[in-house]
Amino acid sequence: MIKQRFGLARLPHLIAACGLICAAAVAHAQDPVKIGCVLPLSGGSAAVGEQTRVGILAAVNQINKTGGIESMGGAKLEAVFGDSQSKADVGVSETERLIQRENVPVLCGAFNSSVTYPSTEIAERNKTPWIVVGSVKDEITERGFKYIFRINNKATYDANEQIESMKLLAKETGKSVKRVAMLFEGGDWGRSHAENIRTLLKENNMELVFDEALPAHQVDLTSQLLKIRASRPDALILAVYTPDQLLFTRQFTQQKLDIPYGVHSVGGGTEDPSFYAAIDAKDVAYYFVQEDWQVDMLEVNKDPLLHEMNDFAKKQLGYDMSAYVAQGITSVYVIKDALERAGSADREKLRDALAQTDITEGPALFTGYQRIKFDENGQNTFAHGVISQNLDGKRRAIWPIENRGDDVKPAWPVPKWSER
């Protein structure tokens, strides 16, 4: 017995010591905070899903390495992934699994708007906060939901940036776009982007001369390219995922279709490093790409933490971080910020903390934003993208003009194929 062995006088000291040891053991054994991540890890958007997964892991590893969530006794983060297979119904079932079986307090994902839209409805119904990653369909944050937060652009922003970049180049050169063709994927993302472009073209007195959605599983774009040629556009706006982007680029190059003011792609395949690894750089010369981070960020931002996470991504992927890696990193750091302020992984407290987010510095801004603050609908109104142009084999920021390097001179109009 303690009483016989140590004596009554020492008993309070032993109890106190035990209390300290036990408290330390409890703190040490703090359960990790699970972050559920629904991503397209297979299917047509698998390359993008893998890049986002790597970004999430880079941020989780860095946070855990530097002490975890301080306000929660150093609790570590744990990423738990669900594969949407780039399919809406699978994304919904994976969301349900992560909420009900894995008991995650917060979710992120799912890149494809067609997956994110119904999956976030499940999260809202289960009162589980969801950080939207990559999906731009406007309606995702326009349904009066309280648990859904989007850091990146919505489709309206993307479309506006494409038109504004054309207007800036016209102002600089006196040469403007009058006739626009548009080709887009037939899902939620493509149709949402197309609708916004139609509205903006009317507002800016620009004529839409070709307007077509791609059927699923397209294997030949000859018909679409012939119709584009016949419509004689000044510029072509493109919104397609990686497989269709590869098909389009190869056949566009084969046909050597001259479009005076070039191809203007909104993210999708032209944000994907695996796309560039699969084609010749000459095939995408002078492409304009709207994306959710500054593609030459690694050249202009020397933050050691950014480059450390880029090294992590490069070991996993074989190439430097992309917009999708950056978005994965940002989503985790936004969740970390909310956890620190909530001091809890309780879903309601975490939701309330996310609603009060106002980040103006740190790794959450590696995407290139100056601020992250959500409006009443959960949309970050400080989100913006950057337009790049492929010049001399490198993608360089050309819009907004504040992001343009002193050595960058946009090609406007673009050279004909016979002059390249």
d(CA 180, CA 333) in angstroms, rounded, equals 39
CA distance to 53, 328, 331, per residue, from 79 (Å): 9, 11, 12
Written as one letter, the residue type at 195 is E
pLDDT tens-digit readout, 324-354: 999 999 999 999 999 999 999 999 999 999 9
Helices (H), 29-112: 46-65, 88-100
CA atoms within 13 A on the CB side of 66: 9
Is it true that 33-152+302-373 and 156-291+385-419 share their CATH fold? yes
d(CA 266, CA 288) in angstroms, rounded, equals 8
CA distance to 23, 127, 145, 202, 340, per residue, from 72 (Å): 14, 22, 28, 52, 7
Is a pLDDT exceeding 90 seen at residue 70? yes
Query: Which residue, 148, 178, 183, 147, is CA-closest to 163?
Result: 178
For Cα atoms 249, 253, 258, give the angle at the middle one, nearest 5 degrees: 110
d(CA 239, CA 68) in angstroms, rounded, equals 39
Query: Which residue, 312, 316, 296, 293, is CA-closest to 304?
Result: 312
Q: Which two three-digit tokens encode residue 73?
A: 């006794």
pLDDT at 387 (0 to 100):
95
Beta bridge partners of 390: 395
Average pLDDT for residues 314-329, to the nearest whole number?
Answer: 94
Q: Give 17's pLDDT tier (boundaries 50, 70, 90).
A: very low
Give the start-end residues of each E strand in 248-294: 263-266, 288-291
Helices (H), 126-272: 155-173, 188-203, 222-231, 242-255
Q: Give 186's pLDDT tier (boundaries 50, 70, 90).
A: very high
* pLDDT greater at residue 61 or residue 9: 61
Contacts of 99 (CB under 8 A, 6+ apart): 36, 107, 122, 123, 126, 128
Q: Concatenated DSSP letters for 175-197?
A: ----EEEEEEESSHHHHHHHHHH
Residues 163, 200: contact at Cβ < 8 Å? yes
Average pLDDT for residues 365-394, to the nearest whole number?
Answer: 94
Helices (H), 7-76: 11-28, 46-65
d(CA 138, CA 268) in angstroms, rounded, equals 16
Q: Which fold has domain 156-291+385-419?
A: Rossmann fold (3.40.50)
Residue 326 is inside which H or E element, if any? Answer: helix 323-342
Q: Give 27's pLDDT tier (boundaries 50, 70, 90).
A: very low
Average pLDDT for residues 50-62, to the nearest whole number?
Answer: 97
pLDDT at 20 (0 to 100):
42
Least reliable range by pLDDT among 74-88, 89-103, 155-169, 293-307: 293-307
**How are beta strands 263-266 and 372-373 bridged, if at all?**
unpaired
pLDDT at 62 (0 to 100):
97
Helices (H), 204-322: 222-231, 242-255, 273-277, 297-300, 304-317
Is a pLDDT exceeding 80 seen at residue 15? no
pLDDT at 10 (0 to 100):
46
Beta bridge partners of 182: 211, 237
Per-domain residue ranges for the chain? 33-152+302-373, 156-291+385-419
- Report the chain's mean pLDDT, rounded to a whole number: 91
Contacts of 213 (CB under 8 A, 6+ apart): 184, 185, 186, 190, 191, 194
**How are beta strands 179-185 and 207-214 bridged, if at all?**
parallel
Cα 187–chain centre separation? 18
Query: Which residue, 63, 66, 137, is CA-closest to 364?
Result: 63
Q: Which fold has domain 33-152+302-373?
A: Rossmann fold (3.40.50)
Contacts of 38 (CB under 8 A, 6+ apart): 81, 82, 84, 91, 94, 95, 98, 107, 108, 109, 110, 115, 119
Residue with tokens 């032209």: 270
